[in-house]
Amino acid sequence: MTTVVHLHTDVAAALAEGRAVVALESTLIAHGLPRPVNLATAHAAEDAVRAAGAVPATVAVLAGRPTVGLTPEQIERLASGDVRKASRRDLAAAVAQGATAATTVAATMALAHRAGVRVFATGGIGGVHPAVSHGLPTWDVSADLDELGRTPVAVVCAGAKNILDLGATLEVLETHGVPVVGYGTDDFPAFYVRSSGLPVSARVDSPDEAAALLAAHWSLGGAGVVIAQPLPEAVALDPSGFATAWRQAEELAREQSVRGAARTPFVLARLAELTDGRSLAANRELIVANAALAGRIAVALARGGRDADVRDR
């Protein structure tokens, strides 16, 4: 049996015509942001991709069917319903059991690649949990890192949260041969915080430069690429203040024994309270900004492909 990825008609038409398409993950809709901000942010991200001249393709598993490109009604279903959270390992179970699931970075990359979509926008990638690098008995390394090492999709993001061991995260990406490219920056961004203080492996300053790097990387047989842009300074959080608020939110989760899929929404909600809503505003801002940048890069990449076709003829 071959599992078929269903394409929205707009996405299928754009891919057939060689036009720009940007994949968007759905976990942030179902699990990453509170209602009603999640739905508004999902629509704003799709609008930002369209404004850049590309076609948005939000990804999910709907009643067991991997789907690239959702209708507004389907996005609303994810935002308002109790749905699974699916990483790469969970896709088969969701398909076989006819489940509806929001996809993480790793799962979205996998399905986008199967559909032929090369550019993907999200908030931030996962990474290496400090317990791993500190020798503690909790082994928590995000599947995003392995997926980046094997799947040729560009992930436009705001780096990774500074609660992770970002040095170890960058080392794992280097081991997997994944370029970590700063967009307009020499430093790796840390999600809510503009800079981690750690260097990226390359820098680009325009969509055309990013597209040229992607084309060269893939022509050499490379897989994933991280393109990281920092939050605008006006909405970025102070590093020390954010770290304090996050520790407090995590401690509340431990005290109340919040575990599993409920943990992330709980921690993010407490973080929003502890930062007077600034973390929520920053999260929404970076998701939409990354979608807009991904749209511009996808357009430049598609234009480069068309220009190459013309030269070849």
**What is the spatial distance between Cα 10 and Cα 122, in angstroms, rounded to a whole number?**
21
CA end-to-end distance (rounded Å), the chain = 39
Rounded Cα distance between 74 and 182, Å, is 33
For residue 280, the SS3 value is helix
Contact call for residues 49 and 294 (beta carbons, < 8 A): yes
Classify the phi-psi angles of 257: left when phi > 0, otherwise alpha if psi is within -120 to 50, otherwise beta: left
User: Among all residues, which ones are annotated catalytic?
Assistant: 25, 161
> SS3 sequence, 69-137?
CCCHHHHHHHHHCCCEEECHHHHHHHHHCCCCEEECHHHHHHHHHHHCCCEEECCCCCCECHHHHCCCC
Q: Name 277's Cβ contacts closer than 8 Å, sequence gap at least 6.
A: none
Residue type, 152: P
Q: Do 198 and 167 touch, CB atoms closer than 8 A?
A: yes
Contacts of 147 (CB under 8 A, 6+ apart): 88, 105, 106, 109, 110, 224
Q: Which residues of 220-250 are buried (b: 16+ CB within 10 A; e: fewer)?
A: eebbbbbbbbbbeeebbbebeebeebbeebb
